[in-house]
Amino acid sequence: MAEADLRPSVAASETGDPLLLTPGPLTTSLSVKRAMLHDWGSRDEGFLAMNRRVLAAIADLAEAGDSHVAVPMQGSGTFAVEAMIATLVPASGKLLVLVNGAYGKRALAICARLGRASAALETPEDRPPDLAALERALADDPAISHVLAVHCETTSGILNPIEEIAARVAAAGRKLLVDSMSAFGALPITPAAAPFEALAASSNKCLEGVPGLGFVLCEKAALAAAAGHAPSLSLDLADQQAALAKTGQYRFTPPIHVIAALDQAIREHAAEGGVAGRGARYYENCRVLVEGMRARGFQTLLPDALQAPIIVTFRTPVDPAFDFQRFYDGLAARGYLIYPGKLTVAESFRMGCIGRLDRADMAGALAAVDAVMAEMGVAAGAPA
């Protein structure tokens, strides 16, 4: 190994920050952050026009502008998911959650708090939902009104087969809610290909904005029928949309700077070629990362066919010289922040492919991995 590999220069974003190889918040462009260098009145037309533009663009990304409306929700993505469930699953309804990771489990926890009936159909973290079991569950339990599926489960990085799930839910005459938090904007999803009543995502994943705003693409008729149903004022999407439709204004203070950043981020998303262009860069990032890590002896949790190009789970090497905290700190010292594992089935860590990163950044991360492994005395290329 060359001396240079042992002392790589420290990687940094345009603003001198470590590169975030995480599932979000992630590295954003300087121009996205610079869009926050202004103040706007929350009821002034300058801001309201920007907000309308953002929401219309979000609906367009899903080719859903005719049937659905993008309703913003202040807070994190989980606030948007809770708002989606609270608003659209009626008190008399029941939500079947397809669980293969932490985000499916979180939807169940939300139902428990909201007092909404729920059931789980669980598969291991490295397996997609069982479609035959889904069909049976829907046939067996007429109380189920809605199904919730997680598009990409960042617990493992698995891409769940959202179109196949949607087809079965529609065939059974039920409604689909999608948690597309970490996929929306990079992986295509449309109501035409995957009929959904609602889809929740956020500003700071594949759209590459900053965190602080979630949104839910809601079927217009379903949203109108849900007025007054939510057991929360803040999280009521029907009330939020009613105010926006009537006055163009938010009911409660919007995170204006976050929305300004998202407006710029959506412009940059379009310039990159929209969902296809964004997805292509992430697929390439993922390919470089996975091939490089495998060449170094690391094993991915998932086979390639199940891997979404969002975040990759690697099994922790068995070599006792490997220590995750030293690995994390060593990569951090070289400008790369990675993510701990979240699996229950295996010791692991995760590296993200999303954000303002390209293949050169992924190659830099691989060089940093080499250096840290050498530092720890774990042979690069050692079998995991």
Task: Confirm or reject binding of residue 261 to a copy of itself (CB under 8 A).
Answer: yes
Select the span of 41-49, 94-102, 279-287, 303-311 touching a copy of itself (CB under 8 A): 41-49
Residue 33 interacts with a copy of itself (CB under 8 A): yes or no: yes
In terms of CB distance, is 129 or 335 closer to a copy of itself? 335
Q: Residue 258 CB, nearest distance to a copy of itself (Å)?
A: 6
Q: Assess 339 for contact with a copy of itself (CB under 8 A).
A: yes
Cβ burial of 53 (10 Å; 0-12, 13-18, 19+) is middle
Which residues, other chains included, contact 64 with Cβ-Cβ below 8 Å and sequence gap of 6+?
Answer: 190, 191, 217
Contact pattern from residue 285 through residue 324 relative to a copy of itself, giving x for each residue in contact according to CB under 8 A and a dash for the rest: ----------------------------------------
Based on the shown chain and the rule CB under 8 A, indicate whether residue 350 belongs to the binding site for a copy of itself: no
Q: What residues from 215 to 254 belong to the interface with a copy of itself (CB under 8 A)? A: 230-236, 250-254
Q: What is the Cα 131 distance to its own chain's centre? A: 22
Question: For a copy of itself, which residue of 255, 330, 341, 364 counts as binding (CB under 8 A)?
Answer: 255
Q: Which is nearer to a copy of itself, 106 or 294 (by Cβ)? A: 106
Question: First and final CA of the chain: distance in angstroms?
Answer: 20
| Residues 234 and 279: beta-carbon distance below 8 Å | no
Between 67 and 78, CB nearer to a copy of itself: 78
Which DSSP string do the residues of 51-80 spell out, in sequence order? HHHHHHHHHHHTT-TTTEEEEEEES-HHHH
Contact between 142 and a copy of itself (CB under 8 A)?
Answer: no
Q: Which of 159, 369, 178 is nearest to 282 (CA)?
A: 159
Question: How far is residue 275 from each of residues 176, 219, 229, 271, 377, measured CA to CA in Å?
Answer: 22, 21, 33, 10, 42
H-helix or E-strand spanning residue 121: strand 117-122
Residue 305 carries which DSSP code? Answer: G
In the bound complex, what is the minimum distance in angstroms from residue 248's beta carbon to a copy of itself?
14
Residue 77 CA neighbour count, 13 Å, CB half: 26
Which residues here bind a copy of itself, judged by CB under 8 A?
13, 15-18, 20, 22, 24-28, 30, 33-34, 36-44, 74-79, 82, 86, 106, 109-110, 113-115, 202, 204, 210-212, 230-236, 250-258, 261, 332, 337, 339-340
